[in-house]
Amino acid sequence: MIAEAARGLAQLVPDWPRIAIVLGSAQAAFIESLNNTREIPYGQIPGWPSPSVPGHAGKIILGECGARRVCVLAGRVHLYEGRTPQEVTFGVRVLGKLGTRVLVLTNAAGGINPSYSPGLLVLLTDHINLQGQNPLAGPNDGTLGPRFPDMTEAYDRRLRDQARSAALELGLGFGEGVYAGLLGPSFETPAEIRYLRTIGADLAGMSTVPETIAARHMGMRVLGISTVTNMAAGMQSEITHDEVLATGKARARDLSRLLEALLPRIEV
Ligand code: HPA
């Protein structure tokens, strides 16, 4: 199904961009910055799952970010929607088949590191997979990648260096930290957050980890950027999805500025 979807998309668009961006909750502002766009709804692609959560659209957008052609996935599916790890990583794998070399994953996350505050953009240095699942479990498809892929540098150091430079030039405050991927959909308990802090997590979220694993399996370079939409459980009075969406939306413009500065300078 991955190969079939890739064949269909390659027929529609012969020269597929080598950089792709997956946008998280309420982060659509970046799409508006693109020129000469073309949209392909997920529903038109056989096998491509459509998101069910408000705040997550469901389409591919091809466009130009400055001089750089990029592919944006606006909306993703999550394990907590009851989707399988194969469904969650389907889009990333299709893009890999289409020649994507660099994958930028954005998400909303709760801030565990006490030096963070809501609204901060954080470059991911690493992740901890606590979702209890892995998209590579099961028979290995050797056409995608190796049985035991290395995850030493899951988040590419050079991409992070370039993102850091871009943020500094723009005068954007940012952090760097470790993302703990949880299954969700309930937010964590305060005890879980204390545990996550102890094991070295700076952020808690419910996405990104399966996509990073699938992308690394295929040899893509990955950059992860979280928007801290709230402080994690026990660090503020309560957490609501409305707050996650509102903060994500309020910070989408700066996230877009960062991407606009960064993407044209990535060599692929
Ligand atoms: N926890 C997990 N996922 C999240 C959070 C959180 O606090 N905020 C946004 N996504």
Ligand 1 binding pocket, CB closer than 6 Å: 108-110, 182, 187-188, 204-206, 229-230, 232, 239, 244
Please answer whether residues 159 and 223 qualify as being in contact, where contact means their C-beta atoms are separated by less than 8 angstroms: yes
Which residue of 128, 238, 239 sits with most ligand 1 atoms within 8 Å of its CB, as the best mutation to test the pocket?
Answer: 239
Q: How far, in Å, from the CA of 149 to the mean position of ligand 1?
A: 28
- Whole-number pLDDT of residue 155: 98
Residue bearing the CA closest to ligand 1, atom 3:
205
Rounded distance from Cα 209 to ligand 1 centre (Å): 14
Region of 75 please: left (phi>0), alpha (psi -120 to 50) or beta. Answer: left
The pLDDT, as a whole number, for residue 141 is 94
**108 CA to middle of ligand 1, Å?**
7
pTM of the model: 0.96
pLDDT for the residue numbered 53: 66
Protein residue with its CA nearest to atom 5 in ligand 1? 110
> Would you place residue 268 in the very low, low, confident or very high pLDDT band (cuts 50, 70, 90)?
confident
- Over residues 21-37, mean pLDDT: 90
The SS3 assignment for 205 reads strand
Where do we find the tokens 């989408």?
252
State the fold for domain 2-265: Rossmann fold (3.40.50)
Q: Which residues are catalytic?
A: 25, 56, 78, 80-81, 108, 206-207, 230, 241
**pLDDT surpasses 80 at 15:** yes
Asked if the model's pLDDT at residue 50 lies above 60, the reply is yes
Question: Which of 117, 130, 206, 231 best tests ligand 1's pocket when mutated (most atoms within 8 Å of CB)?
Answer: 206
Q: Using 50, 70 and 90 to split pLDDT, how confident is the model at 119?
A: very high
Indicate whether 56 pLDDT > 80: no
For residue 52, name the pLDDT band (cuts at 50, 70, 90). confident
- Closest ligand 1 atom number to CA of residue 107: 10
Per-residue pLDDT of 127-184, as tens digits, reads 999 999 999 999 999 999 999 999 999 999 999 999 999 999 999 999 999 999 999 9
* Res 49 pLDDT > 80: yes
State percent of the chain over pLDDT 70. 98
From the CA of 111, give the closest atom in ligand 1: 7
- Compute the distance from residue 232 Cα to the ligand 1 centre, in Å: 7
What pLDDT digit, counting tens, does each position of 205-235 carry? 999 999 999 999 999 999 999 999 999 999 9
Give the C-alpha separation, 239 to 177, whole Å.
Answer: 21
Mean of the pLDDT values across residues 233-258? 93
Domain ranges of the chain: 2-265
Cα 68 off chain centre by: 19
Pocket test for ligand 1, best of 187, 194, 227, 236 (most atoms within 8 A of CB): 187
- DSSP of 136-179, one letter per residue? T-SS--TTT--SS---TTSS-HHHHHHHHHHHHHHT--EEEEEE
